[in-house]
Amino acid sequence: MTQPATRLMLDRRRFLSLATAGVGLAGIGALGVAGCSSQTSGASGSTEKFDYIKPTDPEIAAAEAARASSGSTVAYALAASMGTVDLGGRLVNTWTYGSGAVAPELRMSVGEKMVASVTNSLPSDTSIHWHGIRIRNDMDGVPPVTQEPIAAGSTFEYSFIAPDPGTHWYHSHSGLQADRGLFGALIVEDPEDASGADADAVLVLDDWVDGLGTTPDAVMSALNPNLHGGGHAGHGGASTPLPIGADEAAVAASLTSAGHGDSGVLGGMTQHIAYPLHLINGRPPNDPAVVEASPGTRLRLRIINAGAETPYRFAVAGHRLTIVAVDGFDVVPTETDAIVIGMAQRYDVMLTVASGAWPMVAAVEGRPGYASTVLRSLDAAPLADPDVGGNIPELGRELVLESALRPAEKVELATKAPDRDYQVDLLQAGDRYVWAMAGPDAGKLVMKQGERIRITMNNTSSMWHPMHTHGHTFAVPEYGGLRRDTVNVLPGSSLAIEFDADNPGEWMFHCHNAYHFEAGMTANLMYIR
């Protein structure tokens, strides 16, 4: 049965329950911890009453009708199911949209309508979020905020126009399902692309744990047993909790007790989970999906970090990289040897293919581990051993961080005084694995159509956070107006983002460390009349 997009479960929205989350900190509620919920009687921490715009309201259809449309449609069918995938000779049972450890690559053009039919054959509810695209609110794929979950045995049809070109991706937004195999690349092609690329190739980076003696749910339970099946620490959106075996729990405990990563460029601690395997396009280093091109080809690499908890430092042996876009937005072309990519971020880089077979390495930033594949010119012999061990000189050479990038003139956000200026704190509840967005503004991020919104994120925790806005892209004033939809906020720092309220509805705003998100670091952006 197809579930209509108009059926919502807005009554399931609720605020963070500190008792359920196991905070154990008296008085943290006074900080105004954000809940993933709008209340018709007023936003959290406020007695003011607002007239909220809901995903079912006519403003949503009006915004979609106003989007420029090419009149053409692309259709895809995705089936979420349990299956066995081959990871370099190691067979693992996981959840997948096909037969691999990464979902099929989807492509469309700016202005086209996407119609994606999603059939759920999993033992749990599911959903799909179309990351980075400013689509209509009721198609954002976030239960229970924008839709009912897709129940087991049912089908849901997503339908939306893509107004933004660039490298994007799609993933489940139900529990920790995206830390299995429920994610893939979504490329929105730009008919006015002026990069000069002769060809492009997509590299989807991922940290993998599912089926390697444990599961993401077991890992979450090892980090905080009180959150197993809790769904964003009581904010709603949980998938059906699955039982955790003793062996799975033991492996998860070993992965979460292996120490924390450390990176100077990310401000210290980088992750809590020592992932046993890292993949590019669903393939491990010993069995790579080789990228082949003629020597001299101007190649555009579209790099997506689909990892749940791992930042990567990426480089290509024997080549300099020119960064041309981040999160779908063009930047002033910037040369470098290496880049650091936070979870959910995307980088488009250009290179000229040199004759030979060249390792492409995504090294775990801050701790051992790597994913790798090979770039091979058509006149070169294959590498006898494609697994180079994750150590190429380019990883230690020039590194350009996102703070040094600047937007291309055509994507700059016009200068405007903010109509609303909010402050939110990013924090951890003591030494517990409970994360939150707090402060007097955190639960009342309201806005009206046409307003300029400024949100300053104050990271009081000891860890960095890749912060992501749904339904909107933003400028980072401190980075010269760099445009993104996911930006890394370092520990002990404050960083502001600005955006125009031009897409009505209710939208999530959260950390894209999947485990921080599940443990409570989320709020909502809410439109009012």
**Count of beta carbons in the 10 Å neighbourhood of residue 105:** 14
Burial string for 458-496 (b: 16+ CB within 10 Å, else e) reads bbebebbbbbbbbbbbbbbbebebbbbbbbbbbbeeebb
CA-nearest of 428, 442, 456, 438 to 513 is 428
Question: Which has more pLDDT, 257 or 13?
Answer: 257
| pLDDT classification of 239: cutoffs 50, 70, 90 | low
Please give the pLDDT value at position 227.
79
CA angle in degrees (0–180, nearest 5) for 451-481-345: 100
| pLDDT classification of 33: cutoffs 50, 70, 90 | low
**Count of beta carbons in the 10 Å neighbourhood of residue 26:** 8
Those residues with Cβ within 8 angstroms of residue 409's Cβ, 6 or more apart along the chain or in another chain? none
Mean pLDDT of 97-116: 96
Please give the pLDDT value at position 6.
32
H-run or E-run covering 350: strand 346-352
| pLDDT classification of 52: cutoffs 50, 70, 90 | very high
- Evaluated on CA atoms 191, 194, 171, 436, the torsion sign reads negative
CA distance 41 to 64: 28
Mean pLDDT of 385-407: 96
Q: In sequence order, what DSSP letters do the residues of 151-204 get, joined into one string? A: -TT-EEEEEEE----EEEEEE--STTGGGTB-EEEEEEE-TT--S--SEEEEEE
Has residue 501 got a pLDDT over 90? Answer: yes
Partner residues linked to 53 by β-bridges: none
Fold of 10-63+411-527: Immunoglobulin-like (2.60.40)
Q: Where are the domains of the chain?
A: 10-63+411-527, 68-188
| pLDDT classification of 24: cutoffs 50, 70, 90 | very low
* Contact status, residue 135 vs residue 110, Cβ threshold 8 Å: no
CATH of 68-188, one of 2.60.40.420, 3.40.50.300, 1.10.540.10, 1.10.10.10: 2.60.40.420
Mean pLDDT of 115-125: 97
Mean pLDDT of 255-280: 96
User: Mean pLDDT in the chain?
Assistant: 90
Residue-wise pLDDT for 283-340, tens only, equals: 999 999 999 999 999 999 999 999 999 999 999 999 999 999 999 999 999 999 999 9
CA distance 45 to 183: 35
